[in-house]
């Protein structure tokens, strides 16, 4: 998912523009640092569930 796709989906579920911009900025910063950030899909799932724990555990199980 691209940053613009993330932006569109995040706006659709009611995430503020400031939070979206911050999330995209952190995602890009992690990439520049050579780190692997959470995918935009994982971030959206966590926002929709209002909890990161379930998404984090699923991500660990997948890797």
Q: Supply the DSSP string of 4-60, one letter for each residue.
A: HHHHHHHHHTT--HHHHHHHHHHHHHHHHTT--PPPHHHHHHHHHHT-SHHHHHHHH
What tens-digit pLDDT sequence spans the chain (63 residues)?
A: 999 999 999 999 999 999 999 999 999 999 999 999 989 998 998 888 877 777 777 777 776
Ramachandran region, residue 36 (left: φ > 0; alpha: ψ -120 to 50; beta: rest) = beta
Read off the pTM: 0.78
**What whole-number distance in Å separates Cα of residue 36 and Cα of residue 54?**
19
pLDDT score at 63: 62
């Amino acid at each position: 998912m691209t940053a613009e796709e993330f932006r569109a989906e995040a706006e659709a579920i009611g995430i503020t523009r400031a939070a979206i911009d911050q999330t995209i900025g952190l995602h890009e910063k992690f990439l520049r640092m050579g780190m692997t950030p959470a995918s935009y899909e994982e971030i959206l799932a966590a926002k929709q569930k209002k909890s990161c724990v379930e998404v984090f555990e699923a991500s660990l199980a997948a890797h």
